[in-house]
Amino acid sequence: MKTIRSSILFFVVLLLSAPLLRAQDLSKYRHFTLGMSLTRLLERTGQKMADVKLIHGRPTLVQEVNWWPPSLPGASFQSDTVEQILFSFYNGELYKMSVTYDRNSTEGLTAEDMVKSISAKYGPATNVALEIDSAKNDRYDDRQKPVASWEDAQYSFNLARSSSTDHLGLIIYSKRVNAEAELAAAEAVKLEEQEGPNREAARQKKQTDDLEVARQKNRKIFRP
């Protein structure tokens, strides 16, 4: 009898833990992993530093790289359904991936179809649309309508629909680093507001000085 009870208990625990065993690492998407360096990502996507956009230089370095997977014959991403991926970096570390799917690749698919497809790889969704109030959730901006999300203690993996284009996509980020990046962005705005007047005054002074230098030069060489 004791053996039977132990077997039943083991079976119940196994059933409850099955979703966790099926779940995949939420920090990974395709060939990319949150936390990878900017240099490593540029190598993997075949891009250069000239393709990197500076968002904030202070108080912390925040950069972005927009990447469109190649679709040339023979390319490894030939049949990819991704239209583009926006990679966000905090101090040179990848902390967010914003994936946009090609409209043709998702045409006719319902939200349930998408959730089922993602769940097959990442495990059951933690939240679905009705359970996510976008007005009270700062993980999304006004341009994104949440569909479903997968979360653990470190990462958030979200399926969302663009309000402007109706495109479906993913927003994947490190909770800790994303929170730090949001604080840094707010601080950057404050610095911009504080230093804005002085910067504008310096710009105007330089413009005046340059004009005076040109004036003095042209006074010597001008002939009517």
CB 134 within 8 Å of CB 146: yes
As for how many domains the chain has, the answer is 1
pLDDT at residue 216 greater than cutoff 80: yes
pLDDT of residue 67: 95
Residue 60 burial (CB < 10 Å; 0-12/13-18/19+)?
middle
Q: Is position 199 within any domain?
A: no
Distance CA 50, CA 54 (A): 10
Residue 88 lies in a domain: yes
> Does 132 reside within a domain?
yes
Between the alpha carbon of residue 59 and those of residues 62, 174, 182, 187, 192, the distances in Å are: 9, 20, 12, 7, 11
d(CA 177, CA 170): 18
Find the domain containing 33 and state its range: 13-182
Q: How many CA atoms lie within 13 A of 143 on its CB side?
A: 8
Enter the DSSP assignment of 97.
E
Q: Give me the pLDDT at residue 78, please.
A: 47
Tell me, yes or no, whether 26 lies in a domain: yes
- What is the average pLDDT score of the chain? 80
Residue 108, token pair as written in the block: 């006719």
3-state secondary structure of 7: helix
> What is the rounded CA–CA span in Å between residue 9 and residue 76?
47
Q: What is the pLDDT of residue 133?
A: 42
In a domain, 215, yes or no: no
The tens digit of pLDDT for each residue in 20-46 reads 444 578 999 999 999 999 999 999 999
| 97 domain residue, yes or no | yes
**Helix (H/G/I), strand (E/B), else coil: 95:** strand
Residue with tokens 């994104």: 144
pLDDT in tens, 126-182: 888 744 444 444 444 546 788 999 999 999 999 998 877 777 899 999 999 999 999
- The answer to the question of residue 33 being in a domain is yes
Any domain includes 110: yes
